[in-house]
Amino acid sequence: MPLLEVSNMTHFFGGLRAVHAYNLEIEPGQIRGLIGPNGAGKTTIFNLITGIYDPTEGEILLEGKTIKGREPNKIASRGLGRTFQTLRLWRHMSVIDHIKLGRYSKLDYGLPGAFFSTPRRLREEEKTTKIAMDLLELVGLPETADQLVTNLPYGAQRRVELARALATEPKILFLDEPTAGMNPEELIDMMKIIREVHQELDLAIFLIEHRMKVVMDLCELIQTLDFGEVIAEGTPDDIRNDPKVIDAYLGKEVSV
């Protein structure tokens, strides 16, 4: 049984068909990519699967159980973590608090714990802090724990977002353009971290990316999207040589 199964998903924004008959199967531990020109509907697909939009048609199964139309926080706590294309960090919060908040659904000291500092709360908060520090170690930012997130450089902010998503203990991780806006050094760091995360935590990863180098290096299978439809699917080599993909990116030759 695949970890995540999306079948025949279609979504309309008013009269606009943003996604049409989209299918996806991700096995545990796989890294898959989703590419396509601007406006092809990649982020819409992410938002549909993670519950921000409710798909008009189709079915989404996570470990065999439907998650279609569930609230984003429920889907996230079922094991589907994500990052955002434009950074969505909380600007008044420290780095460690960001990552601790990823553990929100794992905390069960309840309201009594939140109002009174019960021993149980102290225990759980301490454990959460430890997990958060380990994750910061993993993304290579342990010394920034107490800094405000807005004081970090851009590449580091991206890594905080990744660590925050990992704190939710995802079985499958959605990365929306993880290297967008990064300089070449940051890009190489990020790819290394993604690989490490994949190996150490044994996650499935599904990523949107514009930089071909990243997609081709990381992914086992790639889908190409254009105008909401999958026009090509296969290994990096297949995709690289697929005429339809080249057409979608570069345009067709016009015969006079």
Partner 1 sequence: MPKKIISVGKKIWATMTGWLKKFWSNFRDVPLISWLVAFSVTVALEIFIGQALARMVGLSKPPALFGVALVLDNPAKFLSAIIYMILVYGLPVGVIAYLTKGVGNQIAEWLLQFPLLLTSVVHLLLIYGVMHYWTSISDYRLLVARLAMISIIVTLSLNVVNGYMGEFSCSHPGFMALGAYVSSIFTVLLFVTDNRFGDALLPAFLGPFMFPVSLVLGGFVSAAGALLVAIPSFRTRGDYLAIISLAFMFIVKSLFENLEVVGGARGISNQPDYANLWTIFVWTVLAIWIINNFVRSTMGKALNAVRDGELAASAMTVNTQKTKMVAFLFAAFWAGIGGGLFAHVIRYINPGTFGIRKLAEVLAMVYFGGLNSVTGSIVGAVGFSLISEALRPLDIFKWIFIPIMLILIMIYRPTGLIAFREFDVAQLFQPKGKKDEEGVDHAAA
Q: How far apart are CA 64 and CA 127, in angstroms?
A: 31
**Residue among 21, 61, 101, 246 that touches partner 1 (CB under 8 A):** 101
Using CB under 8 A as the binding rule, whether residue 93 contacts partner 1 is answered as: yes
According to DSSP, the residues that pair with 221 across neighbouring strands are 32
Using CB under 8 A as the binding rule, whether residue 114 contacts partner 1 is answered as: yes
Q: Coil, helix or strand for 72?
A: helix
Q: How far apart are CA 182 and CA 162, in angstroms?
A: 14
Q: How far apart are CA 214 and CA 91, in angstroms?
A: 29
Closest to partner 1 by CB, 57 vs 114, is 114
Name the strand (E) or helix (H) holding 189.
helix 184-201
Report how many residues bind partner 1 under the rule CB under 8 A: 42
User: Per the structure block, which two tokens stand in for 228?
Assistant: 């909401």
- Provide the minimum distance between the beta carbon of 133 and partner 1 in the complex, in angstroms, as a whole number: 14
- Provide the minimum distance between the beta carbon of 115 and partner 1 in the complex, in angstroms, as a whole number: 5
Using CB under 8 A as the binding rule, whether residue 121 contacts partner 1 is answered as: yes
Q: How far apart are CA 223 and CA 234, in angstroms?
A: 7
Question: What is the strand order of the sheet 4-13 is part of?
Answer: 16-26, 4-13, 57-62, 65-66
Tell me the window of 14-22, 32-40, 162-170, 219-227 that interacts with partner 1 (CB under 8 A): 162-170
Closest to partner 1 by CB, 136 vs 248, is 136
According to DSSP, the residues that pair with 19 across neighbouring strands are 11
Q: How far apart are CA 78 and CA 63, in angstroms?
A: 9
Closest to partner 1 by CB, 49 vs 245, is 49
Closest to partner 1 by CB, 147 vs 211, is 147
CA distances from 243 to 150, 204, 230 (A): 43, 29, 14
Using CB under 8 A as the binding rule, whether residue 117 contacts partner 1 is answered as: yes
Closest to partner 1 by CB, 102 vs 228, is 102
Give the number of other Cβ atoms within 10 Å of residue 7's Cβ: 13
Closest to partner 1 by CB, 51 vs 226, is 51
CA distances from 185 to 58, 163, 207, 251 (A): 41, 19, 20, 31
- Provide the minimum distance between the beta carbon of 202 and partner 1 in the complex, in angstroms, as a whole number: 20
**Residue among 5, 25, 125, 242 that touches partner 1 (CB under 8 A):** 125
Q: Which of residues 25-84 bind partner 1 (CB under 8 A)?
A: 50, 52, 71-73, 76-77, 81-82, 84
User: Would you tell me which residues interact with partner 1 (CB under 8 A)?
Assistant: 50, 52, 71-73, 76-77, 81-82, 84, 88-93, 97, 100-107, 109, 111, 113-117, 121, 125, 128, 148, 150-151, 164-165, 167-168
